[in-house]
Chains A and B, each alone.
Chain A
Amino acid sequence: MRQFIICLIVLLFPLSAVAAPDVSDFAQSTGWLRMLHYQKKYGGYEGLIIDEEFYLNPDGRKNPQAELETEIREFQTGESKCRFPARFTLLKEKGYVSGDLSACKEYQQFLQDVQPAGITLLFTDAYMSNPASMFGHTLVRIDTARKGTQMLAHGSNFGVLSGTDNGAVFAIKGLIGGYNGSYSLSPYWTVINTYNNIENRDIWEYKLNLSEDEQIQFVNHLYEMKDAKIQYFFLTKNCSYMILELLEAVRPSLDLSSDYNYYAIPLDTVKTVLEEPDLVGEINYRPARYTKIKHQIKQMSAAQYAAFIRGIKEHNYEMDELTPSEQRQVLETEYQYYQYKYTAGDMELQEYRKNSFAVLRRRSQLPPAEELKPEGYNPALSHGSYQISFSGGVYNHKSFEQINIRPAYTILTDNNDGLIRGAGIRVLETTLRYYNQRHRLVLQRFTGLAIYSLVPAGRVFSPYSYKTDFSLVREYNPQNEKEGTVGNIEFGIGKSYALTERFWLYGLLNFHGQYGGLIPDNYWVGAAPEIGAYADFSPVRIHLAVEKTFATSRFGNRLQYKADVAFGLTKDLSLNFEYNASQNHHGHNQQEWLTAVKYSF
């Protein structure tokens, strides 16, 4: 018997020796490397997935060929193919294994629940009063063949497993890769509720043109990734990067993720997918509750608006002066307004129930009608997030040239199509200036993070506006006539009012402080009321501001004027004229004019 086995091994050995070259080629192929998320590292490979069970060979995370050989062997005989249906399908297609997945009970149940009928990329847009959210978030939807609507589809979210950490700990650990990320599945109605109805973020649905085989492989691959853990980095290996890797795994001819080695802004990754020829089909917009309410209020006649305000302020829903169709619109908006208030924590449960039922009972007495849907502007068509600008100008009779580099994201006078009007956020922006007469290159400004969030307050919604600025700025000390770089912190809060839809006024009360060796006593802090105007007469956009600082030292006391007028030439290109002036306590005035060409990409 033993002899027979040895004999068999000897007989079989030449066969496997013949097959080996094929395997080694395929082990290095894009299709295989991407399916297991191998990344090049130190001349070899390492899998992005950190849990051991994702690889069947003990050395599999670092050795694609050993992993391939093990899987071919185990998929042919064992049940492990049921855990990895995408890999099994790939290896079967290549002729390395045979059989099928029909006996895989759990996997078949998964398919029966999900009933896949396509893949849709989802982008959740910004929410009001949070310019940072313009970076967005992406997830995917497994479209369903179930009868009904896509509410019965499933959303798959790659998120961080953060436990109970929050605030600064969460941010820092997230940046340095202190958490693991993992996929989760939920009914699409939960995704809608979370983003549309609680966070008040619009959802954009980008249907992907995948072949039927690719769709199934995408779903299979999500299934095998369900327990996979990945070291999560907020900036790079985040939700959006992983979706690009998923797409590349099911269609190896795609090259999407290689642009995102340093940071992956979710909206940018959507743009990358959209730029791929024919990859995106139908685009659908699903407005947030807040968006719908605002749109419906905008559509109201004066009489409807009066009835609406009477309803939400006095809970008096009598409106006989309106036609049934007009009443219907008012009642539906009132109901959604109550939902908004309750979800925001501004209305008690009992009161919410009472008010919303009063409104709904009246609504049910009126005939059905189609809902008025707002139209959105596809955020993927917004200007590029990276901006470079060249400018020339005069500062106190000295001429200069200047270059400005901004990795992200937008300011008030940039084109805001697809973004939020009145929202500006600048991250890691560097401004270098060269003075012609003195032949000197100086760091004019380094902006770590600066935000303007202007949101007009009205009778229905009354949000605050605010700004923040954490930066290094170049300052001039008139006492010793020296210039130098100082740390600069400013934040303020206030309100904005829309005179028209496109012309706003705002007022902020700012806290302002500076620190540095140039400054007498090394620092000053102060209160700085600011008033300003913002106009978006597209393609011309104007931001004007006056700020008076009352500081702890005479150095800080100042009255500043700022004007920025932009002429948009295309969505990515603009010509700007800026004027900055500052009057300080010593009567020493600084004045600066500059003209800039700004290009976003």
Chain B
Amino acid sequence: MKKILGVAVVCASVVLTAPAHAVDSTGGCGLGSMAWRGQSGIIPQSLAITTNNTFANNTFGITFGTSGCDPNGRITGGTGRMVLAFLEDNMEQFAMDAAAGNGETIETLAGIMNVDSATLGKEVQQNFAYIFPNDNVEALDVTVRVMEIAHA
């Protein structure tokens, strides 16, 4: 029940604060705006995400979702929206930091949620198996669990 409530809260905050959700792959967000060279394999996947435009299916191993990113390429919105935007684009680095109990992504999330970074690091490491229950966990679920653990 707690989880469902959490999902609802995050979704609401996303929906309420999100402007028109169309993310243009040539706009400020994502790879389209960057000089791109090499490693062709990941491009189709990433572009598939930017054009798919559904923000709930951003699973582990698909880097660079852009759903939380505003069309102007800016970080915006309230805590829930920012945590989701951040985790969509940095889930793999966060998984590593969570397993290690410290790191830049934990410091960043602690800043967004306004909690102590060292405490958050300890808690996400202890709850690693809860936050990442399987290898195709979605960014939204991770967001909900991290916010729950941080009491944010």
Contact = CB atoms under 8 A, between A and B. Distances in A.
A154 B34 CA distance: 13
Interface in A339-391: 339, 342-345, 349, 352-354, 356-357, 360-361, 363-364, 367-371
Given A113-B75, A344-B39, A361-B129, A148 B31 contact: no
A130 B38 CA distance: 10
A151 interface: yes
B110 interface: yes
A342 B61 contact: yes
Given A113-B74, A149-B108, A186-B33, A357 B135 contact: yes
A184 interface: yes
A184 B128 contact: no
Given A343-B39, A354-B135, A364 B99 contact: yes
A127 B37 CA distance: 10
Contact of A159 (B35, B61, B122): B35
A385 B38 CA distance: 25
Contact of B39 (A110, A137, A345): A345
B76 to A, nearest CB: 5
A461 interface: no
B73 A154 contact: yes
B129 A364 contact: yes
Interface string B84-122: 011001101101101111111101111110100000011
A339 B125 contact: no
Instruction: Pick from A127, A130, A332, A356 the residue with the most CB of B within 10 Å.
Output: A356
Interface in B53-101: 60-64, 69-70, 72-76, 85-86, 89-90, 92-93, 95-96, 98-101
Contact of A332 (B41, B96, B136): B96
Nearest to B69: A187
B96 A360 contact: yes
22 contacts: A110-B74, A113-B75, A127-B38, A146-B111, A147-B111, A148-B108, A151-B108, A152-B108, A184-B73, A186-B28, A186-B29, A186-B69, A189-B89, A190-B30, A190-B69, A197-B93, A332-B100, A336-B96, A357-B132, A361-B128, A363-B96, A368-B121
A343 B42 contact: yes
Nearest to A363: B99
Contacts of B125: 364, 368
Nearest to B34: A194
Contacts of B108: 148-149, 151-152, 189
A357 B61 CA distance: 11
B84 to A, nearest CB: 13
A184 B27 contact: yes
Nearest to B29: A186
B27, B35, B132: which has the most chain A beta carbons within 10 Å?
Answer: B35
Contacts of B93: 197
Contact of A199 (B33, B39, B102): B39
Contacts of A186: 28-30, 33-34, 69, 73
A361 B86 CA distance: 22
Interface residues of A, number: 55
A190 B64 contact: yes
Nearest to B66: A190
A371 B93 CA distance: 13
Interface string B18-30: 0000000011111
Nearest to A198: B39
B38 A199 contact: yes
B1 to A, nearest CB: 27
B37 A199 contact: yes
Contacts of A335: 96, 99
Nearest to A358: B135
Interface string A178-207: 000000111101110110011100000000
Contacts of B26: 161
A158 B41 CA distance: 25
A274 interface: no
A184 B28 contact: yes
Nearest to B45: A349
A343 B29 CA distance: 19
A157 interface: yes
Contacts of A356: 61, 92, 95, 135
A113 B39 CA distance: 32
A498 interface: no
A81 B93 CA distance: 42
Nearest to A346: B41
A148 B109 contact: yes
Contacts of B63: 193, 197-198, 343
Contact of B86 (A127, A189, A357): A189
Nearest to A163: B26
Contacts of B30: 186, 190
A371 B107 contact: no
Contacts of A110: 72, 74
Interface in A153-189: 154, 157, 159, 161, 184-187, 189
Contacts of B100: 328, 332, 363-364, 368-369, 371
Question: 7 tightest A-B contacts by CB?
Answer: A148-B111, A345-B41, A368-B101, A364-B128, A353-B135, A147-B111, A185-B73
Contact of A151 (B34, B60, B104): B104
B40 to A, nearest CB: 7
Given A152-B111, A184-B27, A339 B104 contact: no
Given A186-B33, A193-B89, 7 more contacts: A147-B111, A157-B33, A190-B30, A193-B63, A199-B37, A332-B100, A360-B95
A353 B101 CA distance: 20
Nearest to A368: B101
A110 B72 CA distance: 9
Contacts of A190: 29-30, 34, 64, 69, 89
Most chain B CB inside 10 Å of its own CB: which residue of A332, A339, A370: A339
Contacts of B41: 344-345
